[in-house]
Structure 1
Amino acid sequence: MLRTIAVVLQKRVAMFEYGVINEVFGIDRTGDGVPSFEMLVCGPEAGVPIDAGNGVQLVPPDDYSACARADLIAIPAGNTNGDYTEESLDVLRAAVARGARVLTVCSGAFLAAHAGILDGRRATTHWMYGEKLARQFPDVIVDTDVLFVDDGPITTSAGTAAGIDAALHIVRQEFGSDIANRIARRMVVAPHRDGGQRQYVEAPVPACDSDGFGETLSWMIENLDADIAVNDLANRAHLSPRTFARRFVDEVGVPPHRWLTEQRVLHAQRLLESTMITVDDVASRCGFGSATLLRHHFSAMVGVSPGSYRQRFTGR
């Protein structure tokens, strides 16, 4: 049973991510019927301040040796540069070996990856760091489409607030939905969020040489509401359809139709955020033709429906 939680602080710690762990496990909510937890805050040296940014410091009362009796090791975001002590890595390896759970929040996944405990497992981190994590640790199966990943004893969460989702998930697994819901109500957060972090990812237009597809991409962006066929694009580029499609993939990275669909969905996101036009009008302005087709592609790419996205990002 989950009773003792040890927070492993790195040489630098992100306050919000630390606060997420503290909100779920470090506050006495027994008056609300929530089990009591013992939360240990551990650093390289007990009593030695750790930088938390903006002149703020955290002073861990325990060193890493206290982690040996924890049921859950929690790692808030710190850094991604590999500047970790060998003792902190050993703590994680020992925790997994003895059957304890591990929770990482945001870039905390890098510490777990350096310890080798993510090898062969699915994991996530903030979408900004996903490519770096996958590149540095090819044995880790990185998935940045989700809010958190639960793989065996290790739960990794995406950026910042996704740590709340992951921590409540662990509580739900250990104590049931009722206890997780009680904590969520006190925190004034949803006990479970749908969708993933795809809805928060920025996807800029790729840079292309002026002699390549830059002009073609710009024209496509300016005419998203038009009926655009690959043959028409090939004619604009003075290429055969087959050559155009091949060179488009070489330069842009995806087939023309997929890229066009992605840009239409991105335009739909902007319209949903900044206007109150109907979903049918959004579909028309983005070239989908019907709200049904927009919902299909939007949900596949973003992870939630257009209506849910608008409510989430505008409150309307």
Structure 2
Amino acid sequence: MTDINSVLRTHYMRALIENVCGGNIEIIKRPASFIVKNKDEGARTIERLIVLPPKGYTADTPTQTNSHDEAERATIEIKGGVRPDKNGFSTLKHCLLVASFNKESGFSDLDKPYMTYSADLKSTPGLFTEFHSAGESPFTVVKPNGYGFYHNLVNVTDDWLVLKLNKRLRLQKGVELDPFLENLTDKQAKAVSTLHDNILADGDALFKKYPDLVDEVASMPPQTILPALGEMLFVYDSGKHEACSVFALILKIGKLHMDKTKEFLTDALEKNAIPAYYGEQLIGKLMKHRQGLESSGDSPEFG
């Protein structure tokens, strides 16, 4: 198989897509994976297909783990490999690496939104690794107790690999942005609304596609923009890492205005105005960054 289209054209893959996702599908391209989902999904329990190219992975880099605050529980079933001239999925042994950290594994650096690990899989404290084979029963990658909160699924073969994801989402209130636009100028409100629309459409591709918009929003006074960004952390996860995009933008502001950002996050956590995980992680990253600056002798700008 040479590309995603040749994988999707196989008769057994088409049948699986129809069975899992229905006829109205959306294909989301990630840096090294593809997500096939129903366009109209909205239930708490959802099913998607993950297609991994040879040596592909679900995070943004091979040694990065994405956070999954949106998931209460998630399981993976390896359907198998897709090979030319085969009439069904190929059973591949030890084809998928699951690299994960639990929720209490700590905080990454301020400029790294996710937890990372060494390529040797041995020298990173707190890293859990497992290899799984096609044909196994579905296995859990995220549990309510924080197991697998950060994880990366890595195809270690030279074949295209298809996974079936079953995920139960946490109860979440959704984004109600309008009240947060009322105290902004018309120009600011337009920029924030456009940012929200672009996050929904493009997820974390926002930073490459609209850098000027990102800079415009990040340059607004923190007391003006942070409440709206905090509300956006409740965005529905469609597989595009929407909430992580907001998370990264708050980090960008926090690096410039550390004290004001920490003050906002602490107050928002007390009022349940932002998801707890994101607030705790953001504060932890800011404090780790501050400690690093102080220990190096640099003078942080606490604004």
Q: TM-score, normalised by structure 1?
A: 0.23
| Structure possessing the higher relative contact order (Cα contacts under 8 Å, 6 or more residues apart) | 2
**Which structure has the highest strand share of the two?**
2
**Which structure has the highest helix share of the two?**
1
Q: TM-score, normalised by structure 2?
A: 0.23
